[in-house]
Amino acid sequence: MIANNYREKWSMATAAFPHKMKAHGFEEVKNPNSEEDILPGYFYRDDGYKLWQALTTYITTSINVIYKSDEGVVNDSQLQQVWLDFKQKDAANVAGDIPAWNSKQALVDFLVLAIFIGSAEHSAVNFGQLDFYAFIPNRPLLMRKPMPDDPAQVTLDYIMQALPDYDQAESTILTASTLSMMNDGTLYDWAEKANDDTPAKLRFLADLAQISKDVVARTLATSVKWPYLNPKDRMARSIAI
Protein backbone atom coordinates (compact mmCIF):
# COMPACT_ATOMS: atom_id res chain seq x y z
CA MET A 1 0.00 0.00 0.00
CA ILE A 2 2.83 2.38 0.86
CA ALA A 3 4.62 1.54 -2.39
CA ASN A 4 1.49 2.07 -4.46
CA ASN A 5 0.80 5.39 -2.76
CA TYR A 6 4.37 6.58 -3.42
CA ARG A 7 4.17 5.38 -7.03
CA GLU A 8 1.03 7.37 -7.73
CA LYS A 9 2.38 10.55 -6.13
CA TRP A 10 5.88 10.37 -7.61
CA SER A 11 6.90 13.30 -9.78
CA MET A 12 10.07 14.27 -11.58
CA ALA A 13 10.15 17.70 -9.99
CA THR A 14 10.23 16.42 -6.41
CA ALA A 15 12.45 13.43 -7.24
CA ALA A 16 15.27 15.61 -8.58
CA PHE A 17 18.30 15.53 -6.28
CA PRO A 18 18.57 19.32 -5.77
CA HIS A 19 14.87 19.60 -4.94
CA LYS A 20 14.97 16.76 -2.42
CA MET A 21 18.06 18.15 -0.74
CA LYS A 22 16.68 21.70 -0.53
CA ALA A 23 13.35 20.37 0.79
CA HIS A 24 15.31 18.97 3.74
CA GLY A 25 17.28 22.17 4.24
CA PHE A 26 20.49 21.19 2.47
CA GLU A 27 21.59 23.68 -0.15
CA GLU A 28 24.75 23.09 -2.13
CA VAL A 29 27.84 24.07 -0.12
CA LYS A 30 30.68 25.38 -2.26
CA ASN A 31 33.19 25.00 0.58
CA PRO A 32 32.35 21.94 2.69
CA ASN A 33 33.46 22.08 6.33
CA SER A 34 33.57 25.89 6.23
CA GLU A 35 31.50 28.18 8.44
CA GLU A 36 28.67 28.13 5.88
CA ASP A 37 28.40 24.33 6.16
CA ILE A 38 25.57 23.51 8.58
CA LEU A 39 26.38 19.80 8.48
CA PRO A 40 30.07 19.06 7.89
CA GLY A 41 30.77 15.55 6.68
CA TYR A 42 27.53 15.13 4.73
CA PHE A 43 29.28 13.47 1.80
CA TYR A 44 26.15 12.37 -0.06
CA ARG A 45 25.19 16.02 -0.34
CA ASP A 46 28.68 17.15 -1.38
CA ASP A 47 29.30 14.44 -3.97
CA GLY A 48 25.69 14.37 -5.16
CA TYR A 49 25.60 18.04 -6.15
CA LYS A 50 28.84 17.64 -8.10
CA LEU A 51 27.56 14.60 -9.96
CA TRP A 52 24.21 16.24 -10.70
CA GLN A 53 26.00 19.23 -12.21
CA ALA A 54 28.36 17.04 -14.24
CA LEU A 55 25.44 15.06 -15.66
CA THR A 56 23.47 18.23 -16.39
CA THR A 57 26.38 19.78 -18.29
CA TYR A 58 27.04 16.60 -20.28
CA ILE A 59 23.44 15.89 -21.24
CA THR A 60 22.59 19.52 -22.00
CA THR A 61 25.58 19.81 -24.34
CA SER A 62 24.74 16.51 -26.04
CA ILE A 63 21.06 17.35 -26.53
CA ASN A 64 21.98 20.73 -28.01
CA VAL A 65 24.10 18.92 -30.60
CA ILE A 66 21.39 16.41 -31.49
CA TYR A 67 18.46 18.84 -31.53
CA LYS A 68 18.82 22.36 -32.86
CA SER A 69 15.48 23.52 -31.50
CA ASP A 70 12.57 22.48 -29.30
CA GLU A 71 10.65 21.65 -32.48
CA GLY A 72 13.25 18.98 -33.24
CA VAL A 73 12.36 17.23 -29.99
CA VAL A 74 8.62 17.50 -30.60
CA ASN A 75 8.93 16.23 -34.18
CA ASP A 76 11.09 13.22 -33.31
CA SER A 77 8.42 10.53 -33.65
CA GLN A 78 10.55 7.72 -32.19
CA LEU A 79 11.43 9.82 -29.15
CA GLN A 80 7.83 10.81 -28.59
CA GLN A 81 6.77 7.17 -28.84
CA VAL A 82 9.10 6.35 -25.95
CA TRP A 83 7.34 8.96 -23.82
CA LEU A 84 3.96 7.53 -24.81
CA ASP A 85 5.14 4.05 -23.85
CA PHE A 86 6.00 5.35 -20.38
CA LYS A 87 2.42 6.43 -19.87
CA GLN A 88 0.50 3.57 -21.52
CA LYS A 89 -0.81 0.80 -19.28
CA ASP A 90 -0.04 -1.89 -21.85
CA ALA A 91 3.56 -0.68 -22.16
CA ALA A 92 5.85 0.68 -19.42
CA ASN A 93 2.90 1.99 -17.39
CA VAL A 94 5.00 4.40 -15.34
CA ALA A 95 2.81 6.19 -12.82
CA GLY A 96 3.34 9.67 -11.48
CA ASP A 97 4.17 12.89 -13.26
CA ILE A 98 6.51 12.70 -16.26
CA PRO A 99 6.16 16.01 -18.13
CA ALA A 100 5.81 15.83 -21.89
CA TRP A 101 9.03 16.03 -23.89
CA ASN A 102 8.03 19.22 -25.67
CA SER A 103 11.38 20.99 -25.38
CA LYS A 104 15.08 20.29 -25.14
CA GLN A 105 15.05 21.26 -21.48
CA ALA A 106 12.25 18.81 -20.67
CA LEU A 107 14.28 16.01 -22.26
CA VAL A 108 17.43 17.07 -20.40
CA ASP A 109 15.58 17.10 -17.09
CA PHE A 110 14.31 13.57 -17.64
CA LEU A 111 17.65 12.12 -18.74
CA VAL A 112 19.60 13.70 -15.89
CA LEU A 113 17.14 12.34 -13.34
CA ALA A 114 17.02 8.87 -14.89
CA ILE A 115 20.80 8.49 -15.00
CA PHE A 116 21.28 9.98 -11.53
CA ILE A 117 18.74 7.64 -9.92
CA GLY A 118 20.18 4.57 -11.64
CA SER A 119 23.79 5.42 -10.88
CA ALA A 120 24.47 7.85 -8.04
CA GLU A 121 21.34 7.49 -5.92
CA HIS A 122 21.24 3.72 -6.20
CA SER A 123 24.95 3.39 -5.42
CA ALA A 124 24.67 5.63 -2.37
CA VAL A 125 21.76 3.63 -0.96
CA ASN A 126 22.85 0.16 -2.01
CA PHE A 127 26.60 -0.36 -1.92
CA GLY A 128 27.16 0.60 1.71
CA GLN A 129 24.95 -2.17 3.05
CA LEU A 130 27.74 -4.60 3.85
CA ASP A 131 29.69 -1.88 5.67
CA PHE A 132 26.71 -1.23 7.92
CA TYR A 133 25.31 -4.75 8.34
CA ALA A 134 28.52 -6.78 8.62
CA PHE A 135 28.96 -5.81 12.30
CA ILE A 136 25.65 -7.22 13.48
CA PRO A 137 25.17 -5.07 16.64
CA ASN A 138 25.52 -1.96 14.48
CA ARG A 139 22.39 -2.70 12.41
CA PRO A 140 20.69 -6.03 13.20
CA LEU A 141 18.03 -6.98 10.69
CA LEU A 142 16.05 -8.75 13.40
CA MET A 143 15.89 -8.92 17.19
CA ARG A 144 14.82 -12.08 19.04
CA LYS A 145 13.58 -10.29 22.15
CA PRO A 146 11.40 -7.16 22.54
CA MET A 147 12.56 -3.92 24.09
CA PRO A 148 11.66 -4.24 27.80
CA ASP A 149 9.57 -1.58 29.51
CA ASP A 150 12.21 -1.22 32.20
CA PRO A 151 15.56 -0.04 30.73
CA ALA A 152 17.31 -1.57 33.74
CA GLN A 153 16.55 -4.99 32.27
CA VAL A 154 18.75 -4.27 29.26
CA THR A 155 21.87 -6.08 30.42
CA LEU A 156 24.68 -7.48 28.30
CA ASP A 157 23.15 -10.93 28.65
CA TYR A 158 19.74 -9.61 27.49
CA ILE A 159 21.33 -7.92 24.48
CA MET A 160 23.20 -11.09 23.48
CA GLN A 161 19.97 -13.10 23.67
CA ALA A 162 18.15 -10.46 21.61
CA LEU A 163 20.72 -10.27 18.80
CA PRO A 164 20.47 -12.70 15.86
CA ASP A 165 21.99 -16.13 16.35
CA TYR A 166 24.92 -17.39 14.26
CA ASP A 167 22.84 -18.66 11.32
CA GLN A 168 20.72 -15.52 11.21
CA ALA A 169 23.83 -13.32 11.34
CA GLU A 170 25.41 -15.33 8.54
CA SER A 171 22.32 -14.86 6.35
CA THR A 172 22.41 -11.12 7.03
CA ILE A 173 26.05 -10.83 6.02
CA LEU A 174 25.65 -12.96 2.89
CA THR A 175 22.61 -10.96 1.77
CA ALA A 176 24.33 -7.63 2.40
CA SER A 177 27.46 -8.84 0.62
CA THR A 178 25.47 -9.89 -2.45
CA LEU A 179 23.53 -6.63 -2.58
CA SER A 180 26.73 -4.61 -2.18
CA MET A 181 28.45 -6.20 -5.18
CA MET A 182 28.87 -3.94 -8.20
CA ASN A 183 28.82 -6.07 -11.33
CA ASP A 184 27.89 -3.73 -14.15
CA GLY A 185 30.83 -1.34 -14.39
CA THR A 186 31.17 2.24 -13.18
CA LEU A 187 29.67 5.41 -14.60
CA TYR A 188 33.15 6.46 -15.70
CA ASP A 189 33.62 3.13 -17.55
CA TRP A 190 30.35 3.64 -19.40
CA ALA A 191 31.26 7.17 -20.47
CA GLU A 192 34.80 6.21 -21.45
CA LYS A 193 33.62 3.37 -23.71
CA ALA A 194 31.17 5.54 -25.65
CA ASN A 195 31.95 5.37 -29.36
CA ASP A 196 32.82 9.01 -29.81
CA ASP A 197 35.24 11.63 -28.57
CA THR A 198 32.99 14.64 -28.60
CA PRO A 199 33.81 17.70 -26.49
CA ALA A 200 30.81 16.81 -24.31
CA LYS A 201 32.17 13.35 -23.57
CA LEU A 202 35.70 14.59 -22.88
CA ARG A 203 34.37 17.28 -20.52
CA PHE A 204 32.20 14.70 -18.76
CA LEU A 205 35.14 12.34 -18.27
CA ALA A 206 37.22 15.20 -16.88
CA ASP A 207 34.45 16.17 -14.46
CA LEU A 208 34.04 12.58 -13.27
CA ALA A 209 37.79 12.18 -12.86
CA GLN A 210 37.93 15.32 -10.71
CA ILE A 211 35.06 14.11 -8.53
CA SER A 212 36.84 10.79 -8.12
CA LYS A 213 40.06 12.57 -7.19
CA ASP A 214 38.20 14.65 -4.59
CA VAL A 215 36.63 11.54 -3.03
CA VAL A 216 39.97 9.76 -2.82
CA ALA A 217 41.65 12.80 -1.27
CA ARG A 218 38.86 13.14 1.29
CA THR A 219 39.03 9.45 2.14
CA LEU A 220 42.72 9.77 2.90
CA ALA A 221 42.23 12.91 4.97
CA THR A 222 39.27 11.93 7.14
CA SER A 223 38.48 9.14 9.57
CA VAL A 224 35.00 8.60 8.11
CA LYS A 225 35.18 6.71 4.84
CA TRP A 226 32.33 7.24 2.37
CA PRO A 227 33.51 6.27 -1.14
CA TYR A 228 30.18 5.22 -2.67
CA LEU A 229 29.92 8.12 -5.13
CA ASN A 230 33.40 7.72 -6.56
CA PRO A 231 32.47 7.50 -10.28
CA LYS A 232 35.70 5.73 -11.24
CA ASP A 233 35.65 3.10 -8.52
CA ARG A 234 32.47 2.54 -6.49
CA MET A 235 29.58 4.14 -8.35
CA ALA A 236 27.72 1.84 -10.74
CA ARG A 237 26.53 3.04 -14.10
CA SER A 238 23.06 1.60 -13.55
CA ILE A 239 20.94 -0.60 -11.31
CA ALA A 240 21.93 -4.25 -11.73
CA ILE A 241 20.37 -6.63 -9.20
Q: Where are the domains of the chain?
A: 1-127+183-241, 130-181
Where b means 16+ CB within 10 Å and e means fewer, 70-103 reads eeebbeeeebeeebeebeeeeeeeeeeebeebeb
- The stretches in the chain having pLDDT less than 70 are 1-8, 241
Question: What does the pLDDT read at residue 229?
Answer: 95
CA distances for 10 relative to 56, 94, 99, 103, angstroms: 21, 10, 12, 21
Compute the C-alpha angle 188/115/40, nearest 5°.
75
CA distances for 88 relative to 4, 82, 84, 91, 95, angstroms: 17, 10, 6, 5, 9
| CATH topology (fold) of 1-127+183-241 | Lipoxygenase-1; domain 5 (1.20.245)
SS3 85: helix
Compute the C-alpha angle 83/89/91, nearest 5°.
55
**Closest CA relative to residue 189, chosen from 152, 227, 238, 124:** 238
Question: What does the pLDDT read at residue 1?
Answer: 65
Question: What does the pLDDT read at residue 115?
Answer: 94
CA atoms within 13 A on the CB side of 216: 10
Question: What does the pLDDT read at residue 241?
Answer: 61
**Closest CA relative to residue 17, chosen from 114, 95, 82:** 114
Question: What does the pLDDT read at residue 181?
Answer: 84
